[in-house]
Amino acid sequence: MNQKGMCNLCSPRNVGCLNNNAIESWNNLMCSLRKMPISWLVSGHLQKLGIKFEKQKMEMQNWKNVVGEKVETKLHTTLGQIGAVSEIKLFNTALKEYGVELTNSRRLVVSLSRRTRSCKWWQLWGLPCLHTMDVIQSQKLLVYDFVSDYCKSLRQGKIYLNLMNPMETHDSG
């Protein structure tokens, strides 16, 4: 493929800018829908969103633990990799702050009460990372207690509690 035909999205000079490929893709998607009244287009999207919310709510009822299947898989995968920690030291009892030394002599800081780790993985994803899980297990605590509330069934239930019901207007009926 020649240079002109390639997408330039990954180029550092184009970061934050839309390129022609993205605009053309959107244009092609919307081309067949241009003749449709806006109210129909909006109500169609609301209906699709409502169906998606209802599907998510039904899937939540099948959750076996306080987290969904995808989060559960990530936690089990991470738990299976434990073993890179050589030493765990308690630094601050009030903050439940631990110093973690890895087998390659790197040092990390894990704060269970603030739910932070020096690598920022925990703060970014809402799930304890490998080294945090090592600390949690060493203290004989439950991993689920340290998963972000947004990943848990109680919060997800509140998100999907009320569905959006499109209102019929005078020009859509």
Please state the rounded mean pLDDT for residues 134-153: 88
| Mean pLDDT across the chain | 76
- Joined together, the tokens standing for residue 13 give 């000079």
Which DSSP category does 108 fall into? E
The pLDDT tens digits for 72-95 are 888 888 877 776 777 888 888 888
The total number of residues written for the chain in this structure? 173
- How far is residue 94's CA from residue 84's CA, in Å, rounded to a whole number? 26
The reply to whether the predicted model has a pTM over 0.85 is: no
Angle ∠(4,9,11) on CA atoms, nearest 5: 80
